[in-house]
Chains A and B, each alone.
Chain A
Amino acid sequence: GENVEQHPSTLSVQEGDSAVIKCTYSDSASNYFPWYKQELGKRPQLIIDIRSNVGEKKDQRIAVTLNKTAKHFSLHITETQPEDSAVYFCGSAGHTGGFKTIFGAGTRLFVKA
């Protein structure tokens, strides 16, 4: 079945540094890739997404890149701040699986002040 692998599981950076989280998906039919941020005890919330017809998308300090050939996509956070500390999940969705989203195992990001 479809699978999404996410690395690293934990990431610690100094405030102001960049953070990169990488994901790999298995279903070549996947065409929608969301990234969610989950703060402790709260629901996941979408921070950025990208579709398969686009290679890169940016929203202020957050960017996502997609390499369809390699089936890789990555989240880039620049100028990290303590409030960026949370668990981040990547997801993959596509026509093969209907509208279901398969998520990676998550990355716990710590931003040290």
Chain B
Amino acid sequence: DGGITQSPKYLFRKEGQNVTLSCEQNLNHDAMYWYRQDPGQGLRLIYYSQIVNDFQKGDIAEGYSVSREKKESFPLTVTSAQKNPTAFYLCASRYSNTEAFFGQGTRLTVV
């Protein structure tokens, strides 16, 4: 499946809870990304990381946090500060300025 794996596939969050989405890649890519997908709004960049122990905010970083302690892993935490977290979350990785490979996505729902 392209060497990039997201888990879980479906996730349910209660009001006020933090949840963490996992993203792991074995492609030896330096750069990793988190996108949020809502109907009709395309892919919006949340956070990205170009190297271990470094990451930058994207266009919609508020209410989210990330870490990049290992090259292979880039977990995303959706905090209680994110007021409308229900969405489809996609992780991607790429080598230099080339094609980005996407994970299969995590669908997060607030219950």
- From A49, A89, A105, give the contact of B40 (CB < 8 A): A105
Q: Answer whether A43 and B33 are a contact pair too, CB < 8 Å, given A9-B40, A89-B43, A100-B58.
A: no
CB–CB A105/B42 < 8 A: yes
Contact mask for chain A residues 31-68; partner B; CB cutoff 8 A; 1 contact, 0 none = 11010000000111110010000000000000000000
A102 CB to closest chain B CB, in angstroms? 7
Could you say which interface size class chain A belongs to? 20 to 34
In B19-65, the 8 Å CB interface with A consists of 31, 33, 35, 40-45, 48, 50, 56, 58-59
Q: Which residues of A contact B (CB under 8 A)?
A: 1, 6, 9, 31-32, 34, 42-46, 49, 89, 91, 93-95, 98-106
CB–CB B97/A100 < 8 A: no
- From B2, B42, B44, B102, give the contact of A6 (CB < 8 A): B42
CB–CB A32/B102 < 8 A: no
- From A44, A49, A91, A100, give the contact of B48 (CB < 8 A): A100
* Across-interface contacts of A105 in B (CB, < 8 A): 40-42
* Across-interface contacts of A106 in B (CB, < 8 A): 40, 42-43
CB–CB A49/B96 < 8 A: no
In whole angstroms, what is the CA distance A42 to B105 when docked? 8
* Across-interface contacts of A89 in B (CB, < 8 A): 42-43
In whole angstroms, what is the CA distance A32 to B33 when docked? 17
